[in-house]
C-alpha cells in the first residue's frame, strides 16, 4: 500500500532543511519552501515559482499542504466578524475578530468541540471531535490578521484563546502555535498580547507556569463555591477549587502575572451575597482582576442573566475590597459570535 502523504506544514524549518539535504539538495531549499509555506501562505507547490519543476513534482509526490479555508464570513452590526473555518477533513471551527477603537482582537478556537462540559456553553454540547493542529490554530490568526488589515486598516493587536475548545486540553499544539505567532518568522507578536483562557485545569496551569510562556492567563471561574461550580461546570468535581487555587498560586509565584477571572452572574444560580463574598475571598489568594461578562443565551434556556442589581452588588463588593472589576458587554451577538455561542450554526 502506498504511504499516506505527510502534511508538509507539520515539519519544522530544520526538518524541512534536513529533508532536502537527504534528497541531495541544499538545506537552503528547505528555507525557501518554508518561506513559501509560512510567510507567503502558499496553498500549493505549484505556487512556489522559484523552486524548480522537478522539485515541486517531488514535493507533490511526498507531501500535501493542509490548510484551513474561511468557508463563510459574517459581519455583525457592531463590526465583529465571525469566520466559519473549514479544516482539511471538512470539520468546521469558528473564530472571531473583535474590533474596538484602538485594538483588533482575534478570538480563536483550539479544539473541534470541547473536552469539557460547561452547562451554559454552546460549544460544550458538541463534545470534543479532535484537537486542532498548531498550523490550524496559526492559520485562524493569520486569516483574522488579513481581515483586520483589509477592513480596519491595521494589523491584529491581541489574541484570546476563547473560541471553541479548552486550550489547556490541547496544550502542546496551542503552545506550538503560540511559538509561531510570536516568532519573527511567523507574526512576531508579543506573548503579552496573547491570553489563554481556561476553565481551570490545575496540572496544565502549573505546566504553563513551568514553561515560562509569558502569555496572560484568564480563568473562567463563574463560582467560588464548589457545590455551585460543580453544578454548572461538572468537571469541577475532578478539579475542585482548592486544587485550582493552589495551581494559580503556583502560577503567580513563577510568573508574577496577574490573573483575570471571567465570571457570569446568573439568576438563581450565583446571584446572592454569599456567592459574591466567596468570590471576594477567592480573589484575595492571587493578584487578579475580574471581568463580569454578560450571559449570551444558548438555545435551551436553563440559564438566565441575573438582574442588574445582582451584577451591581458584585461590582460594589469587589470594588470595596480593592479588586479591579470590569463589566464586559458582549459583541457580535446578532451573528452568534459572542462567548459561548460558537457552535457551528453557520456550518
Binding positions for ligand SAH, rule: CB under 6 A: 120-121, 162, 166, 197-199, 220, 262, 264, 293, 295-296, 298, 339-340
Which member of 114, 118, 283, 339 is catalytic? Answer: 339
Among all residues, whose Cβ is closest to ligand SAH?
A: 340
| Cα–Cα distance, 65 to 40 (Å, whole number) | 13
Q: Does residue 339 carry a catalytic annotation?
A: yes
Q: Does residue 288 carry a catalytic annotation?
A: no
CB of 105 to ligand SAH, least distance (A): 13
The set of cell numbers assigned to 295 is 450571559
Of 14, 308, 10, 1, whose CA–CA distance to 173 is shortest?
Answer: 10
C-beta of 30 vs 200, nearer to ligand SAH: 200
C-beta of 8 vs 225, nearer to ligand SAH: 225
| Cα–Cα distance, 251 to 228 (Å, whole number) | 25
CB 292 within 8 A of CB 116: no
Evaluated on CA atoms 170, 92, 291, 314, the torsion sign reads negative
C-beta of 93 vs 339, nearer to ligand SAH: 339
CB 25 within 8 A of CB 59: no
CB of 200 to ligand SAH, least distance (A): 8
C-beta of 40 vs 328, nearer to ligand SAH: 328
C-beta of 42 vs 339, nearer to ligand SAH: 339
CB of 19 to ligand SAH, least distance (A): 36
CB of 230 to ligand SAH, least distance (A): 15
CB of 219 to ligand SAH, least distance (A): 7
| Cα–Cα distance, 83 to 143 (Å, whole number) | 9
The set of cell numbers assigned to 296 is 449570551
C-beta of 276 vs 339, nearer to ligand SAH: 339
C-beta of 20 vs 295, nearer to ligand SAH: 295
Using only C-alpha atoms, the chain has a radius of gyration, in whole angstroms, of 22
The set of cell numbers assigned to 146 is 488579513
| Cα–Cα distance, 278 to 256 (Å, whole number) | 23
CB of 318 to ligand SAH, least distance (A): 17
CB 283 within 8 A of CB 318: yes
C-alpha dist (Å) from residue 269 to 68, 189, 225, 243, 307: 40, 39, 11, 23, 12
| Cα–Cα distance, 319 to 265 (Å, whole number) | 16
CB of 168 to ligand SAH, least distance (A): 8
Which member of 94, 136, 147, 166 is catalytic? Answer: 94
Q: Which segments within the chain are labelled E, that is strand? A: 6-7, 63-64, 69-75, 81-86, 92-99, 104-107, 111-112, 130-131, 158-161, 194-198, 216-220, 259-263, 288-293, 324-328
Active site residues: 94, 339
Amino acid at each position: 500500500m502506498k504511504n499516506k502523504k505527510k502534511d508538509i506544514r507539520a515539519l519544522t524549518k530544520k526538518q524541512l532543511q534536513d529533508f532536502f539535504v537527504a534528497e541531495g539538495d541544499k538545506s537552503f531549499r528547505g528555507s525557501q519552501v518554508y518561506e513559501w509555506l509560512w510567510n507567503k501562505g502558499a496553498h500549493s507547490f505549484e505556487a512556489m515559482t522559484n523552486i524548480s519543476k522537478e522539485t515541486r513534482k517531488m514535493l507533490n509526490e511526498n507531501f500535501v499542504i493542509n490548510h484551513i479555508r474561511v468557508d463563510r464570513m459574517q459581519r455583525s452590526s457592531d463590526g465583529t466578524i465571525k469566520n466559519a473555518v473549514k479544516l482539511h477533513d471538512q470539520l468546521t471551527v469558528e473564530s472571531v475578530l473583535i474590533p474596538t477603537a484602538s485594538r483588533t482582537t482575534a478570538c480563536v478556537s483550539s479544539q473541534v468541540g470541547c473536552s469539557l462540559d460547561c452547562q451554559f456553553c454552546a460549544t460544550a454540547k458538541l463534545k470534543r471531535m479532535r484537537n486542532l493542529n498548531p498550523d490550524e490554530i496559526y492559520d485562524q490568526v493569520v486569516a483574522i490578521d488579513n481581515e483586520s488589515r483589509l477592513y480596519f486598516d491595521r494589523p491584529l493587536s491581541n489574541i484570546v484563546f476563547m473560541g471553541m475548545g479548552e486550550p489547556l486540553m490541547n496544550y502542546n499544539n496551542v503552545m506550538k502555535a503560540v511559538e509561531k505567532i510570536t516568532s519573527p518568522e511567523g507574526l512576531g507578536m508579543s506573548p503579552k498580547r496573547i491570553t489563554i483562557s481556561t476553565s481551570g485545569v490545575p496540572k496544565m496551569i502549573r505546566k504553563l507556569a513551568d514553561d515560562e510562556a509569558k502569555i496572560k492567563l484568564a480563568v473562567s471561574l463563574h463560582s467560588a463555591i464548589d457545590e455551585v461550580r460543580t453544578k454548572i461546570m461538572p468537571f469541577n468535581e475532578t478539579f475542585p477549587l482548592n486544587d485550582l487555587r493552589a495551581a494559580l498560586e503556583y502560577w503567580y509565584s513563577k510568573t508574577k502575572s496577574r490573573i483575570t477571572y471571567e465570571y457570569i452572574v446568573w439568576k438563581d444560580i450565583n446571584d446572592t451575597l454569599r456567592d459574591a463574598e466567596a468570590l471576594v475571598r477567592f480573589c484575595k489568594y492571587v493578584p487578579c482582576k475580574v471581568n463580569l461578562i454578560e450571559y449570551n443565551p444558548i438555545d435551551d434556556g436553563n440559564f438566565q442573566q441575573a438582574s442588574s442589581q445582582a451584577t451591581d452588588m458584585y461590582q460594589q463588593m469587589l470594588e470595596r475590597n480593592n479588586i479591579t472589576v470590569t463589566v464586559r458587554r458582549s459583541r457580535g451577538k446578532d451573528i452568534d459570535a459572542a462567548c459561548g455561542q460558537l457552535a457551528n450554526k453557520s456550518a
